[in-house]
Amino acid sequence: MGNRLDAKVCLITGAGSGIGQASARLFAQEGARVVVADIDLDAAAKTVAEIGAVAVAERVDVTSPQDTVDLAKRVVEQFGRIDVLFNNAGIAGIGDVLETEPELFDRVMTVNVRGVYLMTRAVVPYMIERQTGSIINMSSCIAEIGLARRVSYAASKGAVFAMTKSMQVDLAP
């Protein structure tokens, strides 16, 4: 165990499984106080139990403006701040341009892109107030190289990459 994140408050979305869950474990091993946020509260709670460190489970629908604002507020009320936001929640949406129904395309874009936007929008005011904070947005190399039958996923991750670059310019000190 290290201490590179000693006592840092790290909010991770999509942390009930996959990359988010693995990241929550690693952040905790580095001394972070981890907020394991997921749309599936049971999965988040299971992750917290497995971590065995300072961690809390929170339910969040990253596509809901109210959910994201409420979560950011709860985290700040409980821990006093948010040092790191890791926007990891996402869905894949498998299909090529002909197979992917518009509803699925919209859902992937809503979760993967709007979710990053809303969660960041909810957390950034607290970071600006403290004049510090880090944001990690999960994208994918698929945004640049493509992958068969991942048209909506690739588009969403390309949008996350572009949004991240713009946020970097807007929010840099």
- Say if residues 71 and 123 touch (Cβ distance below 8 Å): no
- Say if residues 101 and 146 touch (Cβ distance below 8 Å): no
Write out 45-77 in H/E/C secondary structure.
Answer: HHHHHHHCCCEEEEECCCCCHHHHHHHHHHHHH
CA distance 112 to 128: 24
User: Maximum Cα–Cα distance for the chain, whole Å?
Assistant: 49
Residue of 33, 36, 153, 156 marked active site? 153
- Say if residues 63 and 38 touch (Cβ distance below 8 Å): no
Task: Determine whether 153 is an active site residue.
Answer: yes
Residue numbers annotated as active site: 153
